[in-house]
Amino acid sequence: MDHRTTPVPGYHGRYLRIDLSSQSVVPVPIPRAVYRRFIGGVGLGTWILLQETDGTYDALAADAPLAFVFSPLVGSPLTTSAKFAVLCKSPLTSRLNDSLASSQFALSGKKTGYDGLLIRGQAAEPTCLLIDDDGVRFESADDVWGLSPATTTSMLRNRFGRGYHFAAIGPAGENLIRYATISHDGRHAGRGGSGAVMGVKQLKAIGVAGQRRTSFADPRQLSTYSKSLSRLSMGPATAKYRELGTVTNLLTFNRLGTLPTRNFQDSTFDSATSLVPPMDDALTTRTRASCAACTIGCEHIFHSPGQPDGVRLEYESLFALGSLCGIDDFDTVLQAASMCDEFGMDTISSGSSIAFGMECAERGLLDAPDLRFGNNRALLASLKDIAFRRGLGDLLANGTRDAAKHIGGDAADFAPHVKGLEIPGYEPRALQTMALGFAVNARGADHNRSGAYQIDFSDQVDRMHIDRQAVKLAIDTEDEAAIMDSLILCKFLRGALTDRWASMSDMLKMTTGFVTDAEELTDAAQRIISAKKLFNIRQGWSPAEDTLPKRFLTSSLTSGASQGAVISQDQLQELITEYNRLRQWSPEGWIGDDLVRTWQLLDRE
Amino acid sequence: MSIRVEFLGVARQRAGIPELDVEAGNLEDACRALCERLPGLRNTCLTSSGLLPGFLASVNGRTFTRDPNSSLANGDSLIILSSDVGG
């Protein structure tokens, strides 16, 4: 075997290219050096997409690549490491989309013997891919087309065996909703519309099973370290997630005046307390769950009279389907979140698109008399209309940027997105380091690829009046996220790691044998983030995209603890220019050929 | 100086109440007073000299601090919350 492709511990040394059109597969070797440069997960997936594509292409073209990528930590006893990344060109943003999801699909997927699955082409009929030790099968999915991800998974496991774990799309993916998810075990690769990329390929589900484990570089030390990490993960740093779940953020954000409300017209919501049931609530009970191989247990599943089977709820779903739409009824939010799960739709973009529609209707830009903030029935009806592209739902199904173009007038000024990706539950005027993170991030407004809100919620900056000193701090959070998303580790572990860079170096060494330090990992982060930018430049990125909608740059907040906060265009641009300088990009954000070579972003001419 | 202390998230769970008025000139004073009056907070969120790791204070919801010497003015709201805000 060629030394350059001899598997490194923690890896299989190859990915599998699958062509749905020709029903053919090709194993593709991954050079050893690539692993050290891109690690796995989001980093490795970005490298694969750069290798597999060249110029611009339509995100929903039949041959558009869709990558499922694993990481060196998957299969190890390290807590929270059972994760996989999904990468593609987003049909919502037309830029790079990288989503993460957890659980058994990651564990079984890696045991198929590949570090990634790269899917191209388009099936002639609804199809289920099965990948196991015997190879790849292309099975009909006619009988599950139109069904929810959960029902699909249940039926496919009954048909093909309990040993398979499935990632599946729902009706939203089939109907090419631009923010359709890929679902697995009730969790989702949620943002950016990777479910629509599966849908256009007529790929309803992927089932994985296998027995091919990788070795690890130092299994004994890995075992000892993993036990210690698990203990840390159950300590006070993660108590919030374990005891209350992320829904508790809603009351905190409301108090701090950072809670997006009524399509970002306000940053406090008068009825916030009705959206978070107390722990001893008589009508709403909750149970806890966790991802596979996770000791934190952050999932809180709420059971109410209207939702007796329970609905998993996070802050992002609660704000988007609650305060953002002016909804003050918790049971309605639970029902809405359940519908998003059933259809396979991103809750943030779903809620944002409807909230945007509500504001357009209230301003007379849309003829929709029922579409009003606080109208529970309108919220639920709109979700269904979006999933099946009925009436106004067809317009909102393409996201707020596209809808604003069609609606016209000044709608684009208050369409809440960056690069087409709807803004998550962090008011950027009141969290200005996060505002920078939203503006420059490769996949658009995103709080997982940039954790800059951590800086705003600290004593390091004045969150409503940040200056250039905050830029390096924002970059540090982005770098950290790039490595965590490549290893792949849950970000809820952050608080439990005293020296995160040292801890991540240790984990990489024990699994792969790579001896790294903070400097090398920071370089890897810079490389991964530059590689994402290079992908976007190939797809038509321009500096004008790195901004916020006009509302955030001209209208100040009018209530609560963040009253008066606004960030000006000039201020934001100064921050962006400084960001580009520190990233070693041109002042406008372009990447030169010399940097592509220096950082070894490509392995082909 | 009279300070209103508000508890959010885990801190509210530990305190068992949403808010409490105390006399304090800085964060350390406030922590000392809270330890005496709300034993559920002692050694879970704070000690008599300051906040434990994992917790953060906000003055009036605008600025954040963990510095025990952070001064407080009469009528200030001191919010005790998890330092891992967001997520």
CB-nearest to B86 from A243, A453, A561 is: A453
Distance CA A592, CA A576 (A): 18
CB contact under 8 A, B53 and A236: yes
Distance CA A135, CA A140 (A): 17
Q: Residue A197 sits in a domain of what CATH number?
A: 3.60.9.10
A412 in the same domain as A268: yes
Closest Cα in chain A, distance from residue B23 (Å): 22
Average of per-residue pLDDT values in chain A: 96
Closest Cα in chain A, distance from residue B55 (Å): 9
Partners of B85 on chain A (C-beta within 8 Å) are 249, 252, 256, 453-454, 457
A250 in the same domain as A203: no
A354 is a domain residue: yes
A332 in the same domain as A263: yes
Top residue of A259, A423, A457, A494 to mutate, by most chain B CBs within 10 Å, is A457
A280 is a domain residue: yes
A202 in the same domain as A87: yes
Q: Please state whether beta strands A203-208 and A127-132 pair in parallel, antiparallel, or not at all (unpaired).
A: parallel
Distance CA A455, CA A467 (A): 12
A251 in the same domain as A203: no
Helix (H) or strand (E) holding B21: strand B19-23
Partners of A241 on chain B (C-beta within 8 Å) are 84, 87
CB contact under 8 A, B85 and A495: no
Distance CA A125, CA A201 (A): 9
A91 token code pair = 């049909």
Interface of A with B (CB under 8 A): 236-241, 243-244, 246, 248-249, 251-252, 255-257, 279, 315, 426, 447, 451, 453-454, 457-459, 462, 464, 491-492, 494-495, 560-562
Helix (H) or strand (E) holding A401: helix A399-407
Of all residues in chain A, the percent with pLDDT exceeding 90 is 93
A274 in the same domain as A174: no
DSSP string of A485-508, one letter each residue? HHHT--GGGGGG-SSHHHHHHHHH
A473 vs A45, A168, A336, A467, A581, CA distance in Å? 26, 38, 36, 11, 14
pLDDT at A3 exceeding the cut of 60: no
CB-nearest to A454 from B58, B61, B86 is: B86
Closest to A47 measured CA to CA, from A27, A67, A74, A17: A67
A251 in the same domain as A200: no
Q: For residue A458, give the chain B residue with the closest CA.
A: B64
CB contact under 8 A, B44 and A236: yes
Check CB contact of B74 with chain A, cutoff 8 Å. no
**Domains of chain B, start order:** 2-82 (3.10.20.30)
Partners of B87 on chain A (C-beta within 8 Å) are 240-241, 246, 249, 315, 491-492
Note if the pTM is more than 0.90: yes
**Rounded mean pLDDT of A19-45?**
97
C-beta separation of A336 from A383 below 8 A:
yes
What is the SS3 assignment for A288-318? EECCCCCCCCCEEEEEECCEEEEEECCHHHH
Q: Residue A297 sits in a domain of what CATH number?
A: 1.10.569.10
A250 token code pair = 């809603």
C-beta separation of B65 from B57 below 8 A:
yes
Closest Cα in chain B, distance from residue A297 (Å): 14
CB-nearest to A459 from B61, B64, B81 is: B64
A202 is a domain residue: yes
Check CB contact of B85 with chain A, cutoff 8 Å. yes
Q: Which amino acid is at A95?
A: R
Distance CA A248, CA B85 (A): 10
Q: How many beta-carbon pairs below 8 A join chains A and B?
A: 82
A268 token code pair = 């406090």
Residue-wise pLDDT tens digits, A197-223: 999 999 999 999 999 999 999 999 999
Interface of B with A in 12-71 (CB under 8 A): 13, 44, 52-54, 56, 58, 60-67
**Rounded mean pLDDT of B59-87?**
95
Closest to A144 measured CA to CA, from A206, A66, A99, A100: A206
A528 is a domain residue: no
Partners of A494 on chain B (C-beta within 8 Å) are 84
Closest to A399 measured CA to CA, from A379, A419, A384, A427: A419
In sequence order, which residues have a C-beta less than 8 Å from that of residue A605 and are 6 or more positions away? none
Helix (H) or strand (E) holding A474: helix A469-487
Residue-wise pLDDT tens digits, A350-406: 999 999 999 999 999 999 999 999 999 999 999 999 999 999 999 999 999 999 999
Burial of A26 (0-12, 13-18, 19+ CB in 10 A): exposed
A309 in the same domain as A203: no
Distance CA A109, CA A115 (A): 8
CA angle A401, A403, A405 (to 5 degrees): 75
3-class SS at B22?
Answer: strand
A478 is a domain residue: no
Check CB contact of B1 with chain A, cutoff 8 Å. no
Radius of gyration of chain A (CA): 22
A77 in the same domain as A9: yes
Residue-wise pLDDT tens digits, A316-359: 999 999 999 999 999 999 999 999 999 999 999 999 999 999 99
CB contact under 8 A, A459 and B66: yes
Closest Cα in chain A, distance from residue B74 (Å): 18
**Rounded mean pLDDT of A457-472?**
97
Residue-wise pLDDT tens digits, A65-93: 999 999 999 999 999 999 999 999 999 99
pLDDT at A409 exceeding the cut of 90: yes
Q: Could you tell me if the ipTM is greater than 0.90?
A: yes
Q: For residue A450, give the chain B residue with the closest CA.
A: B87
Torsion of CA A247, A500, A489, A88, to 10 degrees: 100
pLDDT at A605 exceeding the cut of 80: no
Binned at pLDDT 50, 70 and 90, residue A1 comes out as: very low
In sequence order, which residues have a C-beta less than 8 Å from that of residue A86 and are 6 or more positions away? A45, A66, A67, A68, A69, A97, A98, A99, A100, A101, A182, A189, A194
Q: Say what the pLDDT of residue A277 is.
A: 83
A220 is a domain residue: no
Distance CA A498, CA A495 (A): 7
Task: Please identify, among A152, A183, A208, the residue that sits at the C-terminal boundary of a domain.
Answer: A208
CB-nearest to A244 from B10, B56, B62 is: B10
A202 in the same domain as A141: yes
Domain that holds residue A136: 3-208
Binned at pLDDT 50, 70 and 90, residue B87 comes out as: confident
Residue-wise pLDDT tens digits, A125-176: 999 999 999 999 999 999 999 999 999 999 999 999 999 999 999 999 999 9
A311 in the same domain as A198: no
Q: Say what the pLDDT of residue A499 is.
A: 94
**Rounded mean pLDDT of A421-449?**
98
Q: Say what the pLDDT of residue A2 is.
A: 52
Q: For residue A316, give the chain B residue with the closest CA.
A: B87
CB contact under 8 A, A243 and B10: yes
Closest Cα in chain B, distance from residue A239 (Å): 7
Mutual angle of helices A330-343 and A149-160, in 10-degree steps: 40
A339 token code pair = 């519908």
Burial of B42 (0-12, 13-18, 19+ CB in 10 A): middle
Distance CA A134, CA A210 (A): 9
Q: Which amino acid is at A391?
A: G
A174 in the same domain as A52: yes
Task: Please identify, among A144, A179, A208, the residue that sits at the C-terminal boundary of a domain.
Answer: A208
CB contact under 8 A, A252 and B85: yes
Distance CA A266, CA A32 (A): 51
| A409-419 b/e (C-beta count within 10 Å ≥ 16 → b) | eebbebbbbbb
CB contact under 8 A, B81 and A252: yes
DSSP A240: I
A453 is a domain residue: no
Helix (H) or strand (E) holding A529: helix A518-538
Closest to B11 measured CA to CA, from A256, A495, A240, A238: A240
CB contact under 8 A, A459 and B65: yes
Domain count within chain A: 2
Closest Cα in chain B, distance from residue A458 (Å): 5
Identify the bridge partners of residue A213 per DSSP, sorted by sequence position. Answer: none
**Rounded mean pLDDT of A427-435?**
98
Q: For residue A251, give the chain B residue with the closest CA.
A: B8
A572 is a domain residue: no
Higher pLDDT, A362 or A2: A362
Q: Say what the pLDDT of residue A4 is.
A: 52
Binned at pLDDT 50, 70 and 90, residue B67 comes out as: very high
Distance CA A349, CA A177 (A): 10
CB-nearest to A237 from B67, B79, B84 is: B84
pLDDT at A5 exceeding the cut of 60: no
Q: Which amino acid is at B26?
A: N
Q: For residue A315, give the chain B residue with the closest CA.
A: B87
CB contact under 8 A, A459 and B81: no
Check CB contact of B84 with chain A, cutoff 8 Å. yes
Q: Say what the pLDDT of residue A6 is.
A: 62
